[in-house]
Structure 1
């Protein structure tokens, strides 16, 4: 099978970064920042590099954007410096973790 090298590298970097964070005892941070469930973060250190590479070569992106349409529209139509963008994204992720929907969450 012919793989898309860019997609493979994105997946590999993502999975290895999450695994590295878990190995450093930062599994909760990895879950929050990387958007991976705690159960899956805990699985990563036990996977061999070859298994992680196999996931990376799956041909599908191993992660998705967690940014709701409301945030995309706000970003598109509002001038924001990097600090404000960072704050809005982190607040949205925190609200997501609290079970809030787009209409009542931070973003």
Structure 2
């Protein structure tokens, strides 16, 4: 798992940018406007996301359009899957235990 991805996503503004780009590719000015950030600050965040491989940029005339790259997010999902296999049975047992405590399920 690429640690750079975690580092990039750990900053709240960068996470907001990723969530914004889930809907559609956007130019840096529109990202800045929607997130109420200044453009240089937004560009720096986009550089970090780009260096981590999370976004790519396409030059269209004098505009830079950013879009998410799915591969790093798929890599992250694959990495998390191993943890889900551990969490889900534990969560199921916790749910059963809570139902017992609430009297909604008999103790086995």
What's the TM-score, normalizing by structure 1?
0.29
Larger gyration radius, structure 1 or structure 2: 2
What's the TM-score, normalizing by structure 2?
0.28
